[in-house]
Structure 1
Amino acid sequence: MPQDNSDPAGRDEIRESNLTEPGQPFNDQIRELQTEVDALRRENEALRLADTRRRESEEALRRENERINAIFSALDTGQSLIDLDMTIMWVNQKTREFFPENDPIGDTCYRLFEGMDRECEVCAARIARSTGEVAKIEKYIPHRGRWFSIVAQPIKDASGEVVRILESYTDITEQKEGEAKLRAAVEKEHLRATELDAILASIPSAVFIYDAHGAVVRVNDMVRQVIDGTPGPLETVRFKKLWATFGILQPDGMPIPIKATPHYRALHGETVQGEEMMITGLSRGVLWADISAAPIHDAGGAIVGAVAILTDITGRKRGEEVLKRHAEELTRLHSDLKTANREANLYLDILTHDIGNTENVSRLYTDLLLDTLNGEAAGYAENLRRSINRSIEILGNVSTIRRIYRASPELTPIDLEGVITGMIAGFPAGTIHYSGTRYQVLADDLLPVIFNNLIGNAVKHGGPDVEVEIRVDEVDGEVRVSVEDTGRGVPDMDKYAIFRRYEQQKRGVGEGLGLYLVQILVEHYGGRIWADDRVPGRPEEGAAFRFTLQIAQGPG
């Protein structure tokens, strides 16, 4: 088949018609044809160049897309291009790593992220779509169990309308967990600081906290009261300025080297307890302080600071000084009293001895007079002898009291049976009733004085027909002795005062001294004595004097 080289545009036909026009020169026709060919060549070249530029642009666009995709894939954040109906049109590699279980393309963002069938109430893409502004949110997604930081960037066309949303998201779960731990640690530290504040406020002493370099970093409110005697907080800065002016002295007034101060030693690992020091340079005057200090260690055991507690003992030291002076004065007075007591005892010994001798001589002469006198004169002589005997009795009681106060406090076992029977033997037979005992008690050789006075009082004051009964019982681990008589008894109002008549001076000469002596002896033996009724509630039927003694040995 012959080749068809005709021009589809119809230019060959035009050219043929031009050649067949009569009267037109051939050369002119050739020139016109050449002009058309040249124009065609230029047009074809322009088309070729345009096609080349198009291919180059497409290649550049492809490379740019690859570069952008590479950048998005290299990012540590997920990236997705979302249509206005929330359909995912494109994602980077990180997004696929976030959601490896399915292909995100064509899925909706709310179903992919949250497993929901409708748009989320809190959605960055939704906010960017409606506002045309960048939206940023942090959101916990229960479906994934993760926290995400989401940034939605609206993409607009030439008219400014939002046509797509580029969404970026980062898994911040570890960050949130770290923030939660940090918040818990901060809250715990705040609680510890609050507890420390409460502890510092409750301590009635001045507390200083030092850093590792020895600088004061914290003090409690008591520091100001210790420094200038006024209540209220003291700023640490102000205290630093004041501390430079303090002088710390030993109790003997000698300055303390810095390396010997409690806080310095604590910063070097030593625990200091209760060292007394003087602090000068204060507006309130010299301060006596009891200071303790201890190092503060971190978790690794390194010393990071120290705490020192200063207790104001100025008042105590002043009191000690007063007590010291008083003690010295008491020592002097005691020495003077010992000297005076020795002298008084010497005088009393001489007086007692001389009076005793004189009374014995007086009684001897009285006995001689009674043998030679009759009638009224004999009665006078008998009264004189009774007075002399009474005087001798009083002198004996005084001597006994002196022996009690001068005797050793040490007691020994005494046979109670022997003491009682020995005293009974000195009184008229049949007057005293006693059934015996086998107890031994703690006493000394003055124990018979108790029975002599109690039995003697009962016989003397009970009348000619008086009867006395002595009973010994064990009550509550003690021996209780009762000396009962059938005399006129002791009224209730006198039962306590009867032992105090000698002290109260409600007596005649020598009256009440015997019972006072008895009470002193019983208390000296660790017991107690009291007056009672022989018949309970009926004092007129006789008195009962009861006293207790410590058991040395029970009945064997």
Structure 2
Amino acid sequence: MGTHMTEPPHPLESKRGRDPAMEARAQDCPDAERIARLEAENEALRRENAELKRGEAERKRIEDALRESEEKYARFFWDDLTGDSLFSPEGQILACNPAFLTIFGFKSFNEALTSNIKSLYPDPGDRIDLLHLLQKERALYHHALILRRRDGRLVNIVANIVGVLNDAGELVGIRSYMYDDTDRKRAEDILKESEERYRVLVELSPDAILLQQDDRFTYANPAAVRLFRASSPEDFIGKSSFDLVHPDYHALVDTRTRETLEKGSVPPVEIKIIRFDGQDVYVESSRARVPHQGKMASIRVMRDITRRKQAEEALLHHTHDLDRLNRELKAARDEANLYLDILTHDVRNANNVSMAYADLILDLAEDDLKTYAQKLHNGIWRSNEILQNVATIRRIHEDSTGLSPIDLDTIIREEIGSFPVASIRYEGRPIKVCADGLLPVIFTNLIGNAVKFGGPDVVVWIRVEVRDGEVLVSVEDTGPGVPDETKKKLFHRFERGQTAASGQGLGLYICRTLVERYGGKVRVEDRVPGHPEGGAAFRFTLQKSP
């Protein structure tokens, strides 16, 4: 037998082993082994090619992801609202985003990239301290800085700063992410200032102010110390509302506490407190919920109303006294009305009977007896006149009806008709004034006085004029007139003229009262200016009705 030389196995075959079908074909055909080996090599090549393709796809995926990541980072870097930058340890700005330009007032990237970060530090020592910290800690988070913009304005900056170190631990670059904290810092300063002002107001407030958290007092201002007669604010610490409020008001305080939780605040209410000296005091108390140290608290404001309560009690007693006096006054008024009724009814009836007998005697008597009878007749007539005046004054005070349009011309003509034998001259026209049913009384008194005091030959003029929305009425006579010293007091109660026929002084007082009731004024003048003896002129005004 000759020696049969075989080729060494293919590397791939040694890994995968021989295929039995291939071995069978090799025995049947001389070239079978070579064909099998070639097929195996082709299969291995196909597998390697597939692995290479998968590797190429993975590499491309990694490259695409890296490219996308870089694009996202670039977009983030450029669109970030924080001022992102990269600069060298010497301070040279190497890269920055638009927000960085805005924060520090750079007009362009060229201006920023040709600048040094050191120019933004008002104090160069701060920059040196920062580098030392970075060398030691490598990163600084929420680091507060005060830097200077290009326009010189200082800004409060909060930054995250990361140092880039080489293998030797040397600082070779610095990345920073900054945002302008000036507005927040300013708001914080304003809030602190506001809190300080609030604290001062609370400390100086005349009202007691107490802060309560978790149903326990944590603060009391000086006014509260004074109101409760405490030795110091510490006396309130840890106490509850029920420790300071009178037991009679515990239920009310409990209700108000629940309302405060629901509504946030409640209006003031009167309660009674117990001071540290044991004395009860009335206060006006209000309550509201406020934030305090990250939690909700209640603030109570109390005002001492002891004097007000005393004043209210005094007012209540005074009111009771007034009620009593009113009742007594009403009883007295009823009694006075009884007497007035007797005067104006019963006495008048008696006078009417007496007047009838006086008239009879006057018709039958002669000589001196007739003179006496006339005087009796005149006395009874004056008595009736007094009763009529009293009744009129009573009507003035009791009649509460309002004013209404009254035809003045009709009133004057009717009153003239009451004096048929008197010489009265009047040329009027229809005109309405604001008055009531007592208006005729004015003309009854004025015309009656002119006829009575003027003598048998007296002449009376009644004139009516409209002036500036008012109606001026004049009743003039040719009688003896009114002396100057009497004019000013003639319209007051019980003031009489100086003639022999002077009355009881009520008629002109009634005239003035009624004229003023109608919104006018009354006066007496000389009919002929400067000559009192030439007669009197009584003038008064009335409001013209629309």
- TM-score of the pair, normalised by structure 2: 0.61
Q: Distance in 1 between matches of 2:319 and 2:415?
A: 47
- Any conservation in 2 of the 1:433–1:470 contact (CA below 8 Å)? yes
Q: Distance in 1 between matches of 2:246 and 2:117?
A: 74
* Higher deviation after alignment, 375-384 or 436-445: 436-445
Q: Distance in 1 between matches of 2:469 and 2:449?
A: 28
AA matched with 1:360:
N
Q: Which of 261, 265, 276 does residue 259 from structure 2 map onto?
A: 265
Q: Which of 283, 290, 296 does residue 289 from structure 1 map onto?
A: 283
Sort the Cα spacing of 1:194 and 1:140 in 2 relative to 1 into closer, same or farther, 3 A: closer
AA matched with 1:196:
Y
AA matched with 2:190:
K
**Aligned-residue offset at 1:531:** 1.1
- Any conservation in 1 of the 2:489–2:495 contact (CA below 8 Å)? no
- Any conservation in 2 of the 1:114–1:144 contact (CA below 8 Å)? no
Aligned residue for 1:497, secondary structure, equals coil
Matched, 1:238 2:235: yes
**Aligned-residue offset at 1:513:** 0.8
* Higher deviation after alignment, 218-227 or 453-462: 218-227
AA matched with 1:512:
G
AA matched with 1:408:
S
- Any conservation in 2 of the 1:263–1:294 contact (CA below 8 Å)? no
1:327 counterpart residue number: 319
Deviations 1:433-479 (A, max 9, x none): 32224233343332211110122223333445543332334445444
Sort the Cα spacing of 1:504 and 1:435 in 2 relative to 1 into closer, same or farther, 3 A: closer
Q: Which of 366, 373, 382 does residue 365 from structure 2 map onto?
A: 373
Larger radius of gyration: 1
AA matched with 2:245:
G
**Aligned-residue offset at 1:282:** 5.5
**Aligned-residue offset at 1:221:** 4.5
- Any conservation in 2 of the 1:209–1:306 contact (CA below 8 Å)? yes
2:473 counterpart residue number: 481
- Any conservation in 1 of the 2:218–2:237 contact (CA below 8 Å)? no
- Structure 2: any 5+ residue segments left out of the alignment? 1-85, 96-112, 130-144, 162-169
Deviations 1:461-498 (A, max 9, x none): 34455433323344454444333334454455544422
Q: Distance in 1 between matches of 2:259 and 2:529?
A: 76
Q: Which of 191, 194, 200 does residue 193 from structure 2 map onto?
A: 191
- Any conservation in 1 of the 2:91–2:116 contact (CA below 8 Å)? no
Sort the Cα spacing of 1:189 and 1:379 in 2 relative to 1 into closer, same or farther, 3 A: same
- Any conservation in 1 of the 2:88–2:174 contact (CA below 8 Å)? no
Aligned residue for 2:94, secondary structure, equals coil
- Any conservation in 2 of the 1:458–1:468 contact (CA below 8 Å)? yes
Q: Distance in 2 between matches of 1:143 and 1:403?
A: 93
Q: Which of 201, 205, 208 does residue 206 from structure 1 map onto?
A: 208
Aligned-residue identity in percent: 35
Deviations 1:245-297 (A, max 9, x none): 42246xxx55435422x455324434321322222346484322333333336
Output aligned runs, 1:128-143, within 5 Å: none
Q: Distance in 2 between matches of 1:366 and 1:194?
A: 98
Give the number of aligned pairs.
414
- Any conservation in 2 of the 1:527–1:547 contact (CA below 8 Å)? no
Q: Distance in 2 between matches of 1:475 and 1:173?
A: 90
Output aligned runs, 1:73-152, within 5 Å: 95=89, 99-100=93-94, 114=116
Q: Distance in 1 between matches of 2:459 and 2:204?
A: 72
Output aligned runs, 1:52-451, within 5 Å: 95=89, 99-100=93-94, 114=116, 174=178, 177-178=180-181, 180-181=182-183, 183-197=185-199, 199-200=201-202, 205-211=207-213, 213-228=214-229, 236-240=233-237, 245-248=243-246, 253=248, 255-256=250-251, 258-260=253-255, 262-263=256-257, 265-281=259-275, 283=277, 285-296=279-290, 304-428=296-420, 431-451=423-443
Q: Distance in 2 between matches of 1:340 and 1:468?
A: 43
Sort the Cα spacing of 1:171 and 1:390 in 2 relative to 1 into closer, same or farther, 3 A: farther
Aligned residue for 2:251, secondary structure, equals coil
Sort the Cα spacing of 1:364 and 1:478 in 2 relative to 1 into closer, same or farther, 3 A: same
AA matched with 2:89:
T
Deviations 1:357-415 (A, max 9, x none): 22222222222222232223322222222111111110111122222223233344432
Sort the Cα spacing of 1:112 and 1:328 in 2 relative to 1 into closer, same or farther, 3 A: closer
Deviations 1:503-549 (A, max 9, x none): 899999952111122233334x4423321425696362544333344
AA matched with 1:227:
F
Aligned residue for 1:409, secondary structure, equals coil
- Any conservation in 2 of the 1:295–1:306 contact (CA below 8 Å)? yes
Aligned residue for 1:470, secondary structure, equals strand
Aligned residue for 1:483, secondary structure, equals strand
1:59 counterpart residue number: none
AA matched with 1:333:
L
- Any conservation in 2 of the 1:535–1:542 contact (CA below 8 Å)? yes
Sort the Cα spacing of 1:491 and 1:456 in 2 relative to 1 into closer, same or farther, 3 A: same
- Any conservation in 1 of the 2:227–2:275 contact (CA below 8 Å)? no
Q: Distance in 1 between matches of 2:458 and 2:284?
A: 72
- Any conservation in 1 of the 2:92–2:115 contact (CA below 8 Å)? no
Q: Distance in 1 between matches of 2:275 and 2:438?
A: 66
Q: Distance in 1 between matches of 2:475 and 2:278?
A: 69
- Any conservation in 2 of the 1:114–1:141 contact (CA below 8 Å)? no
Aligned residue for 1:426, secondary structure, equals coil
Sort the Cα spacing of 1:468 and 1:184 in 2 relative to 1 into closer, same or farther, 3 A: same
Aligned residue for 2:353, secondary structure, equals helix
Q: Distance in 1 between matches of 2:468 and 2:503?
A: 36
Sort the Cα spacing of 1:394 and 1:208 in 2 relative to 1 into closer, same or farther, 3 A: same
2:60 counterpart residue number: none
- Any conservation in 2 of the 1:527–1:549 contact (CA below 8 Å)? yes
Q: Distance in 2 between matches of 1:124 and 1:219?
A: 44
Q: Distance in 2 between matches of 1:289 and 1:448?
A: 61
Aligned residue for 1:468, secondary structure, equals strand
- Structure 1: any 5+ residue segments left out of the alignment? 1-91, 102-110, 128-137, 151-165
Sort the Cα spacing of 1:391 and 1:95 in 2 relative to 1 into closer, same or farther, 3 A: same
Sort the Cα spacing of 1:418 and 1:303 in 2 relative to 1 into closer, same or farther, 3 A: farther
Aligned residue for 2:382, secondary structure, equals helix
How well do the aligned residues superpose, as a CA RMSD in angstroms? 4.8
2:539 counterpart residue number: 546
Aligned residue for 1:432, secondary structure, equals strand
- Any conservation in 2 of the 1:245–1:281 contact (CA below 8 Å)? no
